[in-house]
Amino acid sequence: MAYSVVRDFVVDEKDMRLHSSGIGRPLLLLHELAGSARSFTVLVPLLVAGGREAVALDLPGHGHSEGVPGSDLHGAAWAVAGALDEVCDDPVDVVGIDFGGYLALTVAAQFPTRIRRLVVVEPQAPPQAGHASAGIVPAKQRARGALNVLMSGRGALQRMHSTVGQLRAADPHWWNGLAAIQAPTLVVDGGGGRSGNGVDLDALADRINDSKRLSVGTSHRPWVTDAGQLADAVLEFVA
């Protein structure tokens, strides 16, 4: 479906874009690496039918949003925090998939009172120690995102490589920071109790004080292939 409303705003002199549809309490959607707000084309109508306003952000350096310098992860999280203020003055319900899940967790830890309830689906996460393999972004996802990156120019490719490089580096401080999250959090995998990107989601959920685990579908992309089941789970959790 096409979004019915487009809103542009600025964070640290960088243009950002929100896309929204529906009426009701806002639900902020954060897409995967090399994706855009269009990643939620299948999911959005189901959330709207459930009585929510679905608000999808083009993450920094994706879609119609400008990139942050060097694709710095802190800068990307800061931009997402700015989007919360654009969506609603009250604490916001957030759904993040893949890289959007990483950013949602980061913002929830840094600004714990700004997120009401949080759902992360197959979230990216840095290793607690050592160096992760390039497989943190599965081959199929890299192929799907290649066209989006090429359409955005050489700078987009450089930003994606920079982001992946940062995610591959150990960050025990990020893992320890998950304890600061106050929002009830649903941690979702897309198949058989494990994530497709190698992140230990059980260990991640254990770091969050109020968390639940759920498996949806078998494809590791439930926002597309099992959108009905995922929408039902999301709407029930954020009710």
16, 81, 107, 145, 155 from 36: Cα distances, Å: 12, 17, 19, 10, 16
Asked if pLDDT for residue 95 goes beyond 90, the answer is yes
Which phi and psi (to 5°) does residue 154 adopt? -60, -35
| Band of pLDDT at residue 150, cut at 50, 70 and 90 | very low
pLDDT mean across residues, the chain: 89
Please tell me what DSSP assigns to residue 67: P
Q: Are 209 and 184 in contact (CB under 8 A)?
A: no
Quote the percentage of the chain above a pLDDT of 90.
68
Is residue 116 pLDDT above 90, yes or no?
Answer: yes
Which tens digit of pLDDT belongs to each residue from 52-94?
A: 999 999 999 888 888 876 558 998 999 999 999 999 999 999 9
Edge-first strand listing for the sheet containing 14-21: 5-11, 14-21, 52-58, 25-30, 92-97, 115-121, 185-189, 211-215
User: Which residues touch 90 (CB under 8 Å, ≥6 apart)?
Assistant: 116
Domains of the chain: which residue ranges?
5-237
CATH 3.40.50.1820 correct for 5-237: yes
> Hunting for tokens 């929408």 — which residue is that?
231
Q: What is the pLDDT of residue 218?
A: 87
Beta-bridged to residue 79, according to DSSP, are none
